[in-house]
Structure 1
Amino acid sequence: MDQADIPALLARLASDEDAARKMAVFKLQSSINDPAFADVFISSGGLIILRRLIMSTGGNTLAYSLQSLSRLLEVDMGWDIFEGPAASDLVERIVELIVTNPLVNILRGAMSILVALVGHSQSGSRPVPRTPGAYGLRALKPAVAVYPQFFELVIQQLQSADHALCANALMLINALIRDAISSDSAPPTPKGAVPVPGEEWSKFIKRLQDLGLIKAVYNLMQSSALQDLAHPLLEFQSLTKSLLKRWHDVRVDLERPEHRRALKSLHLASAPDRPNTNGMTKDDTAEAKKGSRRHNPEKWRRLGFETESPAQEFEVTGFLGMMDLTDYVRKNEDGFQKLLLEQSARPLRERCPVARASLAVTMTLYEQFEVDKVEFEDPRGHQLSDDIKSNDKLFRPLLLQWSRLHTAGLHAFFRIWKSTMAEQNDFEKVAELVRILIEQVLGQATRAKDALEVEDELAEYDYTRLRELQMDLLEMSFEDNWGQHLYQVRDELKNEALQFVKEQRIRCLLEGSWFFRPTPNRAAGGVGQETENSVVKRKTFTLTPWRFARLSHNKRFLHYADFAEQVNADPALESLTEKIDLSTISSVVSNVSAPNEDARSASSNATAKTPSAPNNRPTTKITVYSFTNPGDDGGDEEKPILTLYPTSHSLASEWLDGLLMLLNQAPITSETNKLVHLVSEYGFKIRMLNVKFEAAYNGPPVGAGEVPSRAGLDEDYYYEV
């Protein structure tokens, strides 16, 4: 619309005919966000007419009027409408519309105006208003006093099916919270110099939470309306972190009444009149009952504090730690008293320090959600994508379930303490396990994961899995900081494990073992004497004969002999009539390591020793070859000189890899390789546990590996033999 048409537009806006006013204000809302047009409109007295329309009209005329004022404020113009003695009437009218009007288009415009009104006080670049309290939360207080249900109805709009209205309601709540925080006190400075904030902002936040704000926003974060609500939801998430950081930065001070009340509530909830009689004589118990109402020397230590001055133990967590602990005790008072009673029955070194555990969980959650980095977050800079995983990283609805997560984490701490039979000196180790547990569960939680699922997972996470995860993380930390040194240790340990397993396999050969010796079944058509080589190729066997093989003590010969039956005592080496010089062996071949053979060759040892079982046919064999000179052509060829049929898969693995290792060859069976890996990993983990935890993150100490200087030394030395 041309600026020249503004006088005619104003005339129609001031008309007594509703149709003319409706059409005029409809055109106004599409042009007023042009700064040049808005400037002429304001200078021509348009604000007075626009205010009159908002105060007196209804229906679409009112909706268009609200929308026009909202767009005018968006271009940072028209703020004079909220100045002067009549400004409070306008604010009250807008609040009244939100409370009493059911039309969505009117509610959207009214809330949008209040968002701008409350947020206008939060920019330091804007001039100070002529009327004190014209903007921010204070501007709404007189109207809210008239309509006390205002905040409740705004929060109810978070459940609206209209996403634009829902977004406006959430933006209004964000503006109110931000203004309450910023106007209540100056921004917090580093710890030790934190100005004591008033209680107004804290009471206001609690009032909103009691009206169901957290639950409503939590449901929105898990809904499918992210595209329309992304920025206000991310801003609310950022404000939640700001609140947590603010509480964290407030130092616990017993001069403040609310802090004294919080500590006193902890003491009273612990059932202090019940004396701790553990380890006391009868006289001591009677004396304790008499003096229980006077001064208990372990008044605070029995709750899990390290000293009798609990205020200083909140130095790391600030008032946030006290809030979490008192909230847990208030909601679980019976369980808290029972827990303290159970701990008092234990020796002092085995008691779980409840208060310290609570503070540790608070800081774990604080670090997990990166609350300290809230100052570097800009909710307006995030862009949603179609990738669900990327959105899950942006939205953390579980942050809004802080109290439930703290309780679940604390219960997990108690469970791990009990299952590991920890003592007081192990507190940091248990706290580290809980940190890994929370990081694992919350770190992998998707946006749609319910808080109840997270609680169940924290309560049921297997301790063995948790220890394995801890070792993996520790190993990764070592690899990042120690690099090549770690790989060298691994290689050394693998060689040591290989030598260890080689000795074990050779020891099996030195002890000797029984093997099947299949012979031809003459009922199947065999005639005359058959060689062992022909026996190997036959498919029908009887299992009556047995073969016993044993390595000589000098590890140079393999002795064996055949027997009609298995005897209880293994035959002596002298009774084994056949022997093979190991130096003549060219190769050892077996099907034990072939694919899919494990299940077929692993027959029960007990059943295999039963000669009368016709179906127990050996499927695994080990064949020893040697070179022979066949004739005048001068070429050597291999010939089988011994075949062994192991009675079990484990025996086959021991003998095959044992023979190969005797010939200085690498083992090939999966069972032996798994054993080598197991031994080397155990050795590696033992070495890791012998290194101080700080070394995993600090790397090698300064000067490690340097050759000492020989300055001042001569050649006058000797070795003591």
Structure 2
Amino acid sequence: MFLPIESHQDEPDHHLTVIHLDKNQQLTGILPVTPEIDRAHASPKSVAVMENAINVSELVERLGSDEDAVRKMAVFKLQGSIADPSFADIFIAEGGLVKLRYLVLHTNGNTLAYSLTSFARLLEVDKGWEYVDRELVERIVELIVTHPLVNILRGAMSVLVLVVSYPHTGRSSPSGGPFGFRALKPAMNVYPQFLEMLVSRLSSADHALCANALQLINSLIRDLITNEDETEWPTFVKKLQDLGVIRAVYDLMQGSALHDHAHPLIEFQSLTKLLLRKWRDITVDLEKPDHRRTLKGIHLASNPDKLPVKGSEFADDTRRRHSPEKWRRLGFESESPAAEFQETGYMGMLDLTDYVRKHQGQFQMMLLEQSTKPARQRCPIARASLAVTAVLYEHFEVDKSATEDAKSYMLESRADFDRLFKPLLLHWSRLHVAGLHALFRLWKATGAELKDFDKLVELVRILVESVVGGASRTKDIQDVEDELAEFEYQRLRELQMELLELTYEDAWGQHLRQVRDELHHEALQFVKEQRIRCLLQGAWFPNESGAEDDAAPRVELKRPVLPYKYVQLSHNRRYLHFADFEAIGEDVPELDSLPHKIDLSIVSSVVSNVSASSDDSSGSTIKTLPHHSSSTKITIHGYVAATTLQRTSSKNHHNHTRSTSKATQKENLLLTLRPQSHSIASEWLDGLLMLLNQQPITAETNKLINLISNYGLKIRLLNVRFDDAAFVGEPPEIPSREGLDEDYYYDVFGGS
């Protein structure tokens, strides 16, 4: 008979479970009912479907058949039902687990593939652990090493993933059998090529197999970190790295099959951060032999016997090795280097060792070069290495696991994966070396000294944020290294100031905008004074034939046109003096020798084509305009009164209008200037405008005003600590004035 009952909550697709009882009311079969069967329940169609319910006793009997075809069909049906806990209980009660284990140990082909899948699904519902023993594990390890069929490998790896990551706090399963890394260790001794084959599967074209292989690697690493001592997991991880696991996972993270590999890739990235934290948390202790050997290796790699040592008392090798600057010459701050690894821990020592080992020649060359410099000018290599390690640790947010990051994304679109996965994290060692080389380059380019060390580290931090943080998921590590090596110092400083301004903009807001306005006004006044001083200094301008064709009527004397004109502002800044000359003299004409002058109070406008022709926003070099082709022109117009425009000729003096009403006067051309360069044109045009209390109009002057204003802002920002603008945590408490009066004074001279 068939009896409908409620399904398990963890099987949402099954609304009913059909139980099969024999004539003696003994339970012999069970079938999860699909929604299709559920909808057809109580209809004639349901009878035909339910007749297919598995008879567990019969299925177990067929698993033990001598014919492979019978066993294969039975285990094929089994893999579809074994994941149901109720079915699994009946299957085990009927003795099916013994026969399933036998098939795993002794069959091949599809029969073996279905058997492995069934066994893995049985373990997933936390049943059958008592049959996981050393023989079974060794058989599955052998399959992974020797078997080529993908469907068998997938099932074998699924079983091992469950064995290694068995959720139990003890050292063995309830039956006393092995689990975790220890379960595989004996089999790995028999098949030493196991890890190599496992890593090679990461390059498989079968995405499921690839994901299973990475899951197994993740399980081994996590179990070792969780349950083994500090000596076991570093050796294992180092072996995986030597086999190429980093490159293989890096390629997967940059690949296109992210949906198929997402879970194991996220876990591997999380484990990478966990490993970095583990290394960081290990305190460098010279009482430990391996720590002492590592530090000694750094010293010996520096080739101390070839370094020049001051004083003959250190001439022999023995004394040289006991130099009072043994560690400081390598870039440590003291002769007790272990204390300087406090922030970065053993991870900092590993990074420094890696650099010294891979770039030993450069390391020795730098020490030789710096030994000839004063101590304050030597780049502290060891401190620099530790600083770059700390920068990378902060940049990748190592204290935050990748699993926590994944919760922030839906992981549905490619953009979600691009933001989550950080393939460059896997190349930590190469990024460390590239960052260290960048710091060395900045040290040399800036002529830095020890007091500037923290400033250079800050620049490296900005460099890493810009290049590494700005890199796309698919950007190759070699391209990142090249960009770190070629990044221009000037651009880096600009980024630093932009970041600083944004930081203080957020912290100060309105106050910073007020400072900007004040500085812009100060810069404007400064440039105004500079431009007016150019007028006070005077300048030569060419006169050109055809200069008399101006639209406005000229008021100047009718006289022969001489080649050059000299113009100068009076010391009281009220008159513009000028005169024409045959040639540019070696000596500057005296102001009193200039017969013509214009009272600036009558000037109505200054017009020019300078702003259009001199807009050199690209910053290119200004070229001097040839005399014969100069097209740049400044014209000064004004309302002329007899008392304001003075001439040497009394005849012309009587021709001027004496009316003081500008409304009844006509605007006249007072003077024409033809500058020979854009720079002179900018100085005189904007100088005249600013002298008349008008705004400058040329690009060159405005660029100068902005430059001075921005530098003023940067200087003020650099003189303020970051904590003054953005407090970490609660802002400092304002001191109370309780008990104070106004009886105080300022010590102007700074005396005691």
TM-score if structure 2 supplies the norm length? 0.82
In the TM superposition, what is the alpha-carbon distance from 1:248 to its structure 2 partner?
Answer: 0.5
Q: How does 1:87-166 map to 2 (within 5 A)?
A: 87-121=133-167, 124=169, 129-132=173-176, 134-166=178-210
Quick check: 1:410 aligned with 2:436? yes
Change (3 A) 1:603 1:708: same
The counterpart of 1:30, out of the listed 61, 75, 80, is 80
Q: Among 98, 108, 118, which residue is 1:48 paired with?
A: 98
Structure 2 residue aligned with 1:524: none
Residue in 2 aligned with 1:450?
476
Structure-2 change in CA distance of 1:74 and 1:64 (3 Å): same
- How far does residue 46 in structure 1 lie from its aligned partner after superposition? 2.1
Residue in structure 2 matching 1:510, options 521, 532, 536: 536
* Equivalent position to 1:327, from 340, 344, 354: 354
The corresponding residue for 1:495 is: 521
2:691 alignment partner in structure 1? 662
Q: Secondary structure at the match of 2:605?
A: strand
Aligned to 1:689: 718
Q: How many residues align?
A: 670
| Cα 1:426/1:652, change in 2 over 3 Å | closer
CA distance in 2, matches of 1:706, 1:503: 46
- Residue 219 of structure 1 is aligned with which of 247, 251, 273? 251
C-alpha displacement of 1:710: 9.1
CA contact (8 A) 1:520 1:535 kept: no
The code of the aligned residue for 1:107 comes to L
User: Residue 56 of structure 2: SS of its match in structure 1?
Assistant: helix
Structure 1 pair 290–641 and aligned structure 2 pair: CA distance change class (3 A): closer
Aligned to 2:269: 237
Matches within 5 A, 1:230-629: 230-274=262-306, 276-278=308-310, 280=311, 285=312, 287-289=314-316, 291-292=318-319, 295-374=322-401, 377=404, 379=406, 382-388=409-415, 390-520=416-546, 532-533=550-551, 545-594=563-612, 608-609=626-627, 613=628, 616-626=629-639
Letter of the 1:384 counterpart: L
> C-alpha offsets along residues 144-172 of structure 1, whole Å, 9 cap, x if unaligned?
22222111111111111111111100000
| Whole-angstrom distance in 2 between the partners of 1:632 and 1:99 | 107
**1:495 & 1:442 partners in 2: Cα distance?**
39
2:65, 2:71 within 8 Å by CA — same for their partners in 1?
yes
Aligned residue for 1:520, secondary structure, equals: coil
Partner SS state of residue 618, structure 1: coil
- Rounded Cα–Cα distance in structure 1 between residues aligned with 2:367 and 2:622: 54
Residue pair 1:112, 1:168 contacting (<8 A) in 2 also: yes
2:401 is paired with a residue whose SS is helix
The question of whether the paired residues in 2 share the 8 Å contact of 1:275 and 1:292 is answered with no
Aligned partner of residue 120 in structure 1, secondary structure: coil
How far residue 607 of structure 1 moved from its aligned partner, in angstroms, is 5.3
**Contact 2:351–2:429, Cα closer than 8 Å, also in 1:** yes
Q: Which moved more, 1:13-22 or 1:563-572?
A: 563-572
2:447 and 2:348 mapped to 1: Cα distance?
A: 26
For residues 415-457 of structure 1, the C-alpha deviation after alignment (integer angstroms, 9 at most, x for no partner) is 2222222222222222222222222221112222222222222
Q: Would you say the 8 A contact 2:218–2:264 is kept in 1?
A: yes
Between 496-505 and 642-651, the greater mean CA deviation after superposition: 642-651
In structure 1, C-alpha distance between the alignment counterparts of 2:296 and 2:287, rounded to whole Å: 13
CA distance in 1, matches of 2:277, 2:216: 22
Do the aligned residues in 1 keep the contact of 2:158 with 2:212 (CA within 8 Å)?
Answer: yes
SS at match of 1:296: coil
- 8 Å CA contact 1:157, 1:165 repeated in 2: yes
- Kept after mapping to 2: 8 A contact 1:174/1:236: yes
Cα pair 2:614 2:698 within 8 Å, conserved: no
Deviations 1:663-700 (A, max 9, x none): 21111111111111111122222223333455354499
Per the alignment, residue 706 of structure 2 pairs with 677
Of 187, 198, 211, the residue aligned with 2:230 is 198
User: Percent of counterpart pairs with the same letter?
Assistant: 58
Q: In 2, Cα distance between the equivalents of 1:168 and 1:660?
A: 77
Q: Give 1:173 deviation, angstroms.
A: 0.3
Which residue in 2 is equivalent to 1:18?
A: 68
Deviations 1:48-81 (A, max 9, x none): 2211221222111111111122223333333333
Counterpart residue number, 2:12: none
The verdict on how the C-alpha distance between 1:703 and 1:666 changes in structure 2, with shifts beyond 3 A counting, is: farther
2:402 & 2:413 partners in 1: Cα distance?
27
Look up the equivalent residue of 1:643 and give its one-letter code.
T
Q: Structure 2: how far apart are the matches of 1:633 and 1:322?
A: 84
Does structure 1 retain, via aligned residues, the 8 Å contact 2:640–2:667? yes
CA distance in 1, matches of 2:669, 2:274: 80
Is contact 1:275-1:289 (8 Å) kept? no
The separation in 2 between residues aligned to 1:216 and 1:663, in whole angstroms, is 72
One-letter amino acid matched to 1:203: T
Q: Does the Cα contact within 8 Å between 1:413 and 1:434 map onto a contact in 2? A: yes
For residues 699-714 of structure 1, the aligned pairs below 5 Å read: 711=741
Question: Aligned pair in 2 of structure 1 residues 299, 224: CA closer, same or farther (>3 Å)?
Answer: same
CA distance in 1, matches of 2:147, 2:684: 89
Specify whether residues 693 and 141 from structure 1 end up closer, same or farther in structure 2 by C-alpha distance, changes over 3 A only: same
8 Å CA contact 1:272–1:292 kept in 2: the answer is: no
CA distance in 1, matches of 2:600, 2:611: 22
* SS in structure 1 of the partner of residue 322 of structure 2: coil
- Which of 78, 86, 89 is matched with 1:39 structurally? 89
TM-score normalised over the length of structure 1: 0.85
Flag structure 2 segments of 5+ consecutive residues without an equivalent.
Answer: 1-29, 32-52, 555-559, 642-656, 745-752
**Offset, 1:115:** 0.8
Q: Give the alignment partner of residue 112 of structure 2, picking from 55, 62, 67.
A: 62
CA distance in structure 2 between the aligned counterparts of 1:270 and 1:254, rounded to whole angstroms? 19
Distance in 1 (alpha carbons) for counterparts of 2:403 and 2:455 = 32
1:270 offset after TM fit, Å?
2.5
Superposition RMSD in Å: 3.4
Q: Aligned-pair distance for 1:502?
A: 0.8
Q: Deviations over 1:71-97 (max 9, x none)?
A: 233333333332xxxx22221221111
- SS of the equivalent of 2:316 reads helix
Cα contact 1:622–1:652 (8 A) shared by 2: no
Three-state SS of the structure 2 residue aligned to 1:273 is helix
Unmatched 5+ residue regions in structure 1? 185-196, 522-529, 537-541, 715-721
Contact 1:245 1:372 in 2 (8 A): yes
Residues 491 and 706 of structure 1, relative CA distance in 2, 3 Å threshold: farther
Is 1:653 paired with 2:653? no
Q: Note if contact 2:603-2:637 (Cα within 8 Å) is conserved in structure 1.
A: yes
Which residue of structure 2 aligns with residue 181 of structure 1?
Answer: 225
Please point out which of 116, 128, 140 is paired with 1:78. Answer: 128
Paired AA for residue 318 in structure 1 = G
Relative to 1, partners in 2 of residues 1:96 and 1:380: Cα closer, same or farther, differing over 3 Å?
farther
What is the letter of the counterpart of residue 649 of structure 1? H
Matches within 5 A, 1:633-652: 638-652=667-681
Tell me the SS of whatever aligns to 1:372. Answer: coil
